[in-house]
Amino acid sequence: MCVLLAVFALILPRRTREGFAAALRTTLLSPLVGLEGRASLVRAAIVARNDVLITSGRVATQALQVKAVADENLTLRKLLGLSARLQDGFVPADLLPPRGAGDEFTIALATGSDAGVQPFLPVVTVDGLVGMVQSVDRATSFAITWAHPDFRVSVMSVDEGAFGIVQPHLGAGAERWLLEMRGVPFRAKLEPGTLIVSSGLGATYPRGIPVGTVLGELSTPEKWARTYLVKPSVLPEAIGPVLVLLLARTERGVNGVWTTVHAADSAARAVAAAGDSLARAAALDELAARRAARDAAADTLADSTLAFVPGGLGTAADRAKVDSVRTRARVDSIMRARARAASAKPRVVVPPPRTGPPPMTRQ
């Protein structure tokens, strides 16, 4: 039937065939033509969305790569600044991939004994202390971080007002990545935000490496010492290229290498002290000027008073009178200044003496 209809349509005149085809398209084939149009639109939308997703993915990947490169460049620039402050006595090292899933507290370094690395050397970054070298090969070495259960370091506050031992907190969840400062004398109270640095006691860590900042005090059954929760200076995700301090450098110390908050606070206190001293000097100068003006006014008053003395000031008796008047004026000004200073001080109210019989006491 279809073949016969096709042959019949071919032998029809062109005008009749076109009219017949138009009638078919507007009646029987109209839903099919609409469906085909919608299918082509959907296909074009899917293709366009696919292209948009691919382009967005490429842009996001490039942005992440740019951010990663920028972060790496910033870290390297900071590490170069730390290297410039150290000048010598260190070995730079890159991190190697971890050996297994259970080694989250150990890092592998791409340097070893050929570069002078030995066990028990400190590993640092620009932010502070990372850990300590544990074992060494010729080309590689392994170090424990501050999160390792065996990690210990003797520390102190930047003002040297409190000493203690820092160890991992070993808490649950996010608190596992915190530190504890134990053995702090009970009289030493640390405020949140206090910077904790290595004290230099022992032969591993030199004095002055930032370890962390105080978050708050922990409640412990020990009543003779305090324990503080400390946030580490070097976070686990921020550990990148590191420096291994060699033995000669640890013996010389690292004073002034790390710029700490204590230095900024000291500078601020020095500026404030300088401002206070300048204000104090200005106040003293003003007081001296007022006293000089008061003395000059007293001298002028004495001169004007004695101007009416008959015979002038030629005799010794007259000069003695002038001196006595001037002295009395100065004494009066000094007494008035002392009275004003005494009135400015807080008054202490003394209770009246007790009258009557003494209170009864129980035997």
According to the model, what pLDDT value does residue 261 have? Answer: 42
Q: Across the chain, what does the average pLDDT equal?
A: 76
Q: Which of 1.10.3720.10, 3.30.70.240, 2.40.10.350, 2.40.37.10 is the CATH number of 90-258?
A: 2.40.10.350
CA pair distance 111, 92, nearest whole angstrom:
8
Give me the pLDDT at residue 155, please. 92
Banded model confidence at residue 337, pLDDT cuts 50, 70, 90:
low
Following DSSP, what letter does each residue of 149-196 receive, concatenated? Answer: TT--EEEEETTS--EEEEEE---SGGGGG-EEEEEEETT----TT-EE
The 10s digit of each residue's pLDDT in 38-76 is: 888 888 888 888 888 888 888 887 777 676 666 667 776
User: What pLDDT is stored for residue 301 in this prediction?
Assistant: 53
Question: What pLDDT shows up at residue 163?
Answer: 92
pLDDT of 233 above 50: yes
On the CB side of 192, how many CA atoms lie within 13 Å of its CA?
5
User: 138-176 pLDDT, tens per residue?
Assistant: 889 999 999 898 899 999 998 888 999 999 988 777 777
**pLDDT (0 to 100) of residue 292:** 67
Mean per-residue pLDDT, 2-17: 81
Average pLDDT over residues 242-256: 85
Residue spans per domain, the chain = 11-86, 90-258, 265-339
